[in-house]
């Protein structure tokens, strides 16, 4: 059984440090889908409007966000729940609820006791086992990939889709009179009028029709509803997707970009600007988007570094050239459990054994072998943003050979390794109070690519990437502290891509545990948006 951790559907917003730094890193070279300029609809004079299809302004990006995802999955599994106020419970929290419950005052991440007081007729289902949610989530992604190969998972309930190429193909198949008769699907932000002679407007209009087709297919084939935002980049698509909810979609035309950006009440509502960065900006007297737009670039670069300063100022103007990057297969599996208190080594070991057993089952099903193991803890803190710590080490080669074979002789040595990692972080001779434990298998390798008995593997960078488990995925090196937020609705940190890239681990080629530790850097993001 998978445990409640931070993958709270819709609510587990990860407010990581310097998300903006990694957010645009891949986009510096204009990493949008590149394709040659193609004829657009005719201008009034009859000449085609040529706009480079690979230019950032010409892209058509859709952000697809499923409505109360966990609750929808439960209602599909049990149709009798439809129409009733429904909450999905993980431990003592209602991690999400359907709209019937929301109308009666239930909110996401509400304490179960408070939710029942607010809505006595609330039906609660246990959502700690994420298996069905994960499976449905990947069905959604696979369905969207039928429309475009460029689909980037942002969590269990969110995906980015780059429709640029598909839009261009459709435009090439239309005559000018057919183009002039096109209508938008869904809402237009600010009720802005469409200029039929503006190729950018026409592209977004066609994108809205494809988004409607995707939502219709999602409902017909999977029974799921969701919201969509259609815009010229990922940042704007995500911001506009939530304007009309539930089960609706909204198009953002370029002229309304600043209106949308300035509708944000605070910088913390801006995707790509995390908790720590927000605090540092507030220390400079910057609390609104307008403040950031007009603040001295030189001072900002001095305070935050050139890379971070330039990227977050671009974000404040709605500029985001980061590509939609297909997520690909996961390179890590993680299981975690949160609790009110864990204060003994025996109790910690018991929880670690439970998490490890679940991970071993998943490795058997996946067929690949992990080469790194990581343990993550969270200490009790009165602050909303709690710190996590982690240690990792290579898995000894003789244990790797047994992984995935159903041979549970690996349990004892693996638990021993994890407990050494645990004691490396926690002084068990002193009182301690933990509220979360997580075990992660990283650097998954197919059997034919695993280099058994050689030193080569240990001399190359390892991977630490998003898990299909729906667990938080961490952009770590060896050890880090990260800031976590429980409120996704005020911290939409969707950048960078959900697939984490290679990082160096400092792993040892020897079959002994080598602990590695690295201080948190203020210049780079340490994690992606968690799944859910």
R_g (Cα) of the chain, nearest Å:
24
Both 379 and 348 in a single domain? yes
- pLDDT at position 519 over 70: no
The predicted structure's pLDDT at residue 388:
87
Q: Which DSSP letter does residue 523 get? A: S
Whole-structure pTM value? 0.68
150-205 confidence digits (pLDDT tens): 999 988 999 999 999 999 999 999 888 888 889 999 999 999 999 989 999 999 99
Would you say residue 524 lies in a domain?
Answer: no
- pLDDT at position 319 over 70: yes
3-state secondary structure of 365: helix
The predicted structure's pLDDT at residue 178:
87
In the structure encoding, which two tokens stand for residue 436, read together? Answer: 């979360």
Considering only CA atoms, which of 379, 368, 375 is closest in space to residue 448? Answer: 368
- pLDDT at position 529 over 90: no
Task: Say which residue, 51 or 418, is predicted with more confidence.
Answer: 418
Q: Which of 250, 282, 317 is the last residue of a domain?
A: 317
Count of domains for the chain: 3
Both 70 and 197 in a single domain? yes
The predicted structure's pLDDT at residue 142:
93
- Range from 87-96, 284-293, 375-384 carrying the lowest mean pLDDT: 375-384
The alpha-helical segments, DSSP class H, found in 174-285 are: 176-180, 199-222, 234-241, 257-262, 275-283
Beta bridge partners of 61: 162, 231
Arithmetic mean of pLDDT, 64-71: 97
Task: Say which residue, 50 or 434, is predicted with more confidence.
Answer: 434
What Cα–Cα distance (Å) separates residue 247 from each residue in 65, 70, 84, 242, 383? 9, 15, 18, 10, 35
Would you say residue 396 lies in a domain?
Answer: yes
Q: Which of 419, 445, 471 is the last residue of a domain?
A: 445
- β-strands 482-484, 151-153 pairing: unpaired
Rounded to the nearest angstrom, the gap between the alpha carbon of residue 3 and the centroid of all alpha carbons in its chain is 18
How many distinct helices (H) and strands (E) make up the chain? 17, 19
218-234 confidence digits (pLDDT tens): 999 999 999 999 999 99
Would you say residue 128 lies in a domain?
Answer: yes
The predicted structure's pLDDT at residue 365:
82
3-state helix, strand, coil in the chain (%, to 5): 35, 20, 45
**What's the CA gap between 163 and 185, in Å, rounded?**
15
What Cα–Cα distance (Å) separates residue 13 from each residue in 2, 92, 268, 330? 19, 18, 12, 20
428-459 confidence digits (pLDDT tens): 999 999 989 999 999 898 876 444 444 333 33
The predicted structure's pLDDT at residue 462:
35
Both 378 and 312 in a single domain? no
- pLDDT at position 124 over 50: yes
The CATH number for 359's domain is: 3.30.1490.100
Cβ neighbours of residue 401 closer than 8 Å, sequence gap 6 or more = 452
503-518 confidence digits (pLDDT tens): 223 333 222 333 344 3
Would you say residue 180 lies in a domain?
Answer: yes
Would you say residue 506 lies in a domain?
Answer: no
Would you say residue 27 lies in a domain?
Answer: no
Both 188 and 298 in a single domain? no
Both 195 and 213 in a single domain? yes
Neighbours of 511 (CB within 10 A): 12
Arithmetic mean of pLDDT, 235-248: 96
The predicted structure's pLDDT at residue 276:
86
Assess contact for 509 and 396: CB atoms under 8 A: no
Would you say residue 139 lies in a domain?
Answer: yes
Assess contact for 229 and 62: CB atoms under 8 A: yes
Both 269 and 254 in a single domain? no
The CATH number for 287's domain is: 1.10.150.20
The predicted structure's pLDDT at residue 12:
34
Confidence tier at 494 by pLDDT (50, 70, 90): very low
Domain containing 273: what range? 264-317
Cβ neighbours of residue 91 closer than 8 Å, sequence gap 6 or more = 4, 128, 338, 339
Task: Say which residue, 100 or 21, is predicted with more confidence.
Answer: 100
Considering only CA atoms, which of 232, 2, 243 is closest in space to residue 137? Answer: 2
Both 230 and 339 in a single domain? no
Q: Which of 247, 282, 317 is the last residue of a domain?
A: 317
The predicted structure's pLDDT at residue 39:
43
Would you say residue 467 lies in a domain?
Answer: no
The CATH number for 106's domain is: 3.30.70.270
Arithmetic mean of pLDDT, 93-111: 94
Arithmetic mean of pLDDT, 494-507: 33
158 catalytic per annotation: yes
Both 82 and 201 in a single domain? yes
Q: Which DSSP letter does residue 530 get? A: P
Considering only CA atoms, which of 249, 169, 176 is closest in space to residue 208? Answer: 249
Percent of the chain past pLDDT 70, that is, above it, reads 72
The predicted structure's pLDDT at residue 495:
42
The predicted structure's pLDDT at residue 66:
97
- Range from 119-128, 413-422, 502-511 carrying the lowest mean pLDDT: 502-511
- pLDDT at position 82 over 60: yes
Task: Please give the span between the terminal C-alpha atoms of the chain, in angstroms, as a whole number.
Answer: 17
3-state secondary structure of 57: helix
Both 160 and 201 in a single domain? yes
The dihedral through the CA atoms of 86, 531, 485, 479 has a sign that is positive
Both 180 and 75 in a single domain? yes
Confidence tier at 387 by pLDDT (50, 70, 90): confident
Both 100 and 209 in a single domain? yes
Percent of the chain past pLDDT 90, that is, above it, reads 57
Identified catalytic residue from 152, 158, 336, 507: 158
The pLDDT mean for the chain works out to 78
Considering only CA atoms, which of 421, 374, 306, 317 is closest in space to residue 527? Answer: 374
Both 171 and 202 in a single domain? yes
Rounded to the nearest angstrom, the gap between the alpha carbon of residue 336 and the centroid of all alpha carbons in its chain is 17
Cβ neighbours of residue 45 closer than 8 Å, sequence gap 6 or more = none
């Amino acid at each position: 059984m998978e445990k409640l951790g931070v993958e709270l559907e819709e609510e587990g917003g990860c407010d990581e440090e310097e998300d903006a730094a990694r957010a645009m890193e891949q986009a510096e070279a204009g990493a949008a889908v590149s394709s040659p300029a193609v004829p657009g609809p005719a201008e009034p004079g009859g000449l085609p409007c040529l706009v480079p299809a690979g230019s950032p302004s010409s892209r058509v990006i859709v952000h697809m966000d499923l409505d109360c995802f966990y609750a929808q999955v439960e209602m599909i599994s049990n149709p009798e729940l439809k129409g009733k106020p429904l909450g999905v419970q993980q431990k003592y929290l209602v991690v999400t609820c359907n709209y019937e419950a929301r109308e009666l005052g239930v909110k996401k991440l509400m304490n179960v006791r408070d939710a029942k007081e607010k809505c006595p007729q609330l039906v609660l289902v246990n959502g700690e086992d994420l298996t069905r949610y994960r499976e449905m989530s990947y069905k959604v992604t696979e369905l969207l990939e039928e429309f475009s190969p460029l689909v980037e998972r942002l969590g269990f309930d969110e995906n980015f889709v780059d429709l640029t190429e598909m839009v261009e193909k459709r435009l090439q198949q239309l005559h000018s009179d057919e183009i002039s008769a096109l209508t938008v699907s869904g809402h237009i932000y600010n009720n802005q009028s469409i200029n039929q002679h503006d190729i950018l407007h026409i592209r977004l209009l066609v994108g809205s029709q494809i988004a409607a087709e995707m939502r219709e297919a999602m409902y017909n084939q999977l029974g799921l509803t969701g919201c969509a935002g259609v815009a010229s980049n990922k940042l704007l698509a995500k911001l506009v997707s939530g304007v009309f909810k539930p089960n609706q979609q909204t198009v953002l035309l370029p002229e309304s970009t600043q209106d949308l950006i300035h509708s944000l009440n605070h910088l913390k509502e801006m995707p790509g600007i995390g908790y720590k960065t927000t605090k540092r900006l507030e220390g400079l007297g910057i609390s609104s988007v307008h403040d950031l737009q007009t603040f001295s670039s030189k001072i900002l670069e001095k305070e935050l570094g050139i890379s971070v300063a330039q990227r977050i100022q671009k974000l404040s103007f709605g500029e985001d050239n980061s590509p939609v990057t297909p997520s690909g297969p996961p390179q890590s599996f993680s299981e975690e459990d949160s609790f009110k208190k864990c204060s003994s080594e025996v109790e910690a070991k018991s929880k670690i054994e439970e998490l490890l057993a679940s991970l071993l089952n998943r490795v058997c099903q996946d067929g690949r072998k992990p080469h790194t193991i990581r343990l993550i803890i969270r200490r009790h803190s009165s602050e909303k943003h709690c710190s996590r710590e982690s240690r990792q080490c290579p898995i000894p080669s003789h244990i790797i050979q047994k992984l995935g074979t159903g041979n549970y002789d690996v349990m004892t040595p693996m638990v021993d390794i994890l407990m050494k990692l645990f004691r490396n972080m926690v002084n068990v001779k002193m009182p301690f109070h933990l509220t979360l434990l997580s075990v992660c298998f990283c650097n998954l390798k197919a059997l034919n690519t695993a280099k058994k008995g050689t030193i080569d593997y240990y001399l190359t960078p390892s991977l630490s990437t998003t898990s299909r488990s729906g667990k938080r995925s961490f952009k770590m090196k060896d050890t880090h502290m990260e800031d976590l937020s429980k409120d996704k609705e005020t911290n939409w940190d969707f950048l960078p891509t959900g697939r984490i890239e290679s990082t160096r681990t400092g792993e040892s080629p020897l079959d002994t545990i080598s602990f590695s530790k690295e201080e948190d850097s203020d210049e780079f993001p340490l994690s992606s948006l968690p799944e859910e």
